[in-house]
Chains A and B, each alone.
Chain A
Amino acid sequence: KAGVTQTPRYLIKTRGQQVTLSCSPISGHRSVSWYQQTPGQGLQFLFEYFSETQRNKGNFPGRFSGRQFSNSRSEMNVSTLELGDSALYLCASRAPNSPLHFGNGTRLTVT
């Protein structure tokens, strides 16, 4: 089975721009979560989607949004980018009552 796939692997954006990240979960997994990883704050939960519905949300501003499609693929969008948004964004999928499986992440650099 293919793992969680995230694209692109690297992104460089300028302050004020917006960005969209993509995630394809493991086949059969309907739950997709997003996490932000930074050296200072570690892994922080952004949100979780299941069957195209956002079920849970972390403590991030409204500039961070996401969606899930009928095939369980998910996208995350960050608008009006700030320097502090530079991070590794990790997507994870899971089956019911099973652990999270992470993708390799998208490294976002905001200049």
Chain B
Amino acid sequence: GENVEQHPSTLSVQEGDSAVIKCTYSDSASNYFPWYKQELGKRPQLIIDIRSNVGEKKDQRIAVTLNKTAKHFSLHITETQPEDSAVYFCGVGSRGGADGLTFGKGTHLIIQP
């Protein structure tokens, strides 16, 4: 089955700096890569996703890049703000996620004021 590794497990950055979280996957057939943000005690919420026919996608301060050859993708958050503090999960799926998602173990992002 699919194996997803996510790094780092904890990331502390100064407010205003950038944060980068990286995930690697094993199955070359995987073609759907979402990122979810989970605040303490709340549901995971989708913040951005990318499909394998696209190398990069941006939404305001958030971007995701995908390297299919190396089988890794990264989440980039620029100009971090206190409300960015949360746990971030990367997901990997095939058939656009229809076969279920395999998630990384999560990154706890801490924004230092």
Contact = CB atoms under 8 A, between A and B. Distances in A.
Interface in B30-45: 34, 36, 42-45
A32 to B, nearest CB: 12
A1 B46 CA distance: 17
A33 B100 contact: yes
A12 to B, nearest CB: 18
Interface of A: 4, 31, 33, 35, 41-45, 47-48, 55-56, 58-59, 90, 94, 97, 99-105
Interface of B: 1, 34, 36, 42-46, 49, 89, 91, 96-106
Contacts of A58: 100
Residue with the greatest number of chain A CB neighbours at <10 A, chosen from B43, B99, B104: B43
B100 A48 contact: yes
Contacts of B45: 102
Nearest to A40: B105
Contacts of B98: 31, 48, 55
Contacts of B42: 104
Contact of B44 (A33, A43, A44, A56): A43
A94 B97 contact: yes
A99 B49 contact: yes
Contact of B46 (A33, A43, A97, A100): A100
Residue with the greatest number of chain B CB neighbours at <10 A, chosen from A41, A42, A56: A42
A101 B36 CA distance: 10
A94 B98 CA distance: 9
